[in-house]
Amino acid sequence: MIVRSLGFDPGSESSGWAFLRAHGQREPALYVGGGTIASKRYDIAKLIVGLRPDLVAIEWIEGMAFAGKTPGVVPALLASAAVAGGIEWCAIGTGHNVIRMPARLWRHQVIGRPSASDAMIKETLPHLLTGLPKRTNVHVRDACGVALAAARQVQAKGAA
C-alpha cells in the first residue's frame, strides 16, 4: 500500500515540510521534496492542494510543562501551536485526512527512542528515506519523521 504523506514541523515564522511516498512499513520511503514555508495559511493551503497527499501529518506541540524551565519559550510554543492549528485547518478545509503526532511519539516510532536527539535523527533518517538530500535542516528532518511515522501508522491499519 503506497501512502503519500505530507509532514509539517510548525514554527512561528516558518514551518518545515516534507512530502514522502511510503511503499511499505519495512521498505525505505521515498523523499519526494521538502523545505520550509512561511507559516501563513494561504501558502500552506496552496502547498497542500498542489501536492495532493493522502494524509497530512503535523508534529503536535507538547512540552508546555517544560516551558517554565527556559525563559522565553512559552511565547514561541504558543505561536507554534497556533500555526499547527492553522495547518490542520487548511488540511481539513481542503479535504485531507490529518494525523496529529507529538514529537516523542514519532521519534519513538521512527528512531526507536522518544527522546531521540536531533543528531540521532540526522544519522538515522538517510537509512529510512531514499532520496533525502545530505543537507537538510532540523525542521525538514522533523517533518520527514512525522510524515514517515504517520504513513506507517496508516499502512499498519490498512494491513490489519
- Residue 56's DSSP bridge partners are 6, 98
Structural contact between residues 4 and 53, judged by C-beta atoms closer than 8 angstroms: yes
For residue 9, pLDDT beyond 70: yes
What domains can you pick out in the chain, each with its CATH number? 3-159 (3.30.420.10)
pTM greater than 0.75 (yes/no): yes
For residue 24, pLDDT beyond 80: no
Question: How far, in whole angstroms, is CA 119 from its chain's centroid?
Answer: 17
- Residue 101's DSSP bridge partners are 59
pLDDT at 25: 72
Structural contact between residues 144 and 7, judged by C-beta atoms closer than 8 angstroms: yes
Higher pLDDT among residues 1 and 3, named by residue: 3
pLDDT at 1: 85
> How is residue 13 annotated by DSSP?
S
The amino acid occupying position 123 is: E
pLDDT at 71: 67
Structural contact between residues 35 and 19, judged by C-beta atoms closer than 8 angstroms: no
Structural contact between residues 16 and 137, judged by C-beta atoms closer than 8 angstroms: yes
pLDDT interval class at 138 (50, 70, 90): very high
Strand residue runs (E) in the chain: 3-9, 14-22, 29-38, 55-60, 97-102, 129-130
Structural contact between residues 11 and 143, judged by C-beta atoms closer than 8 angstroms: no
For residue 54, pLDDT beyond 60: yes
Alpha-helical regions (H) of the chain: 41-51, 64-67, 73-93, 103-110, 118-128, 138-159
pLDDT interval class at 86 (50, 70, 90): very high
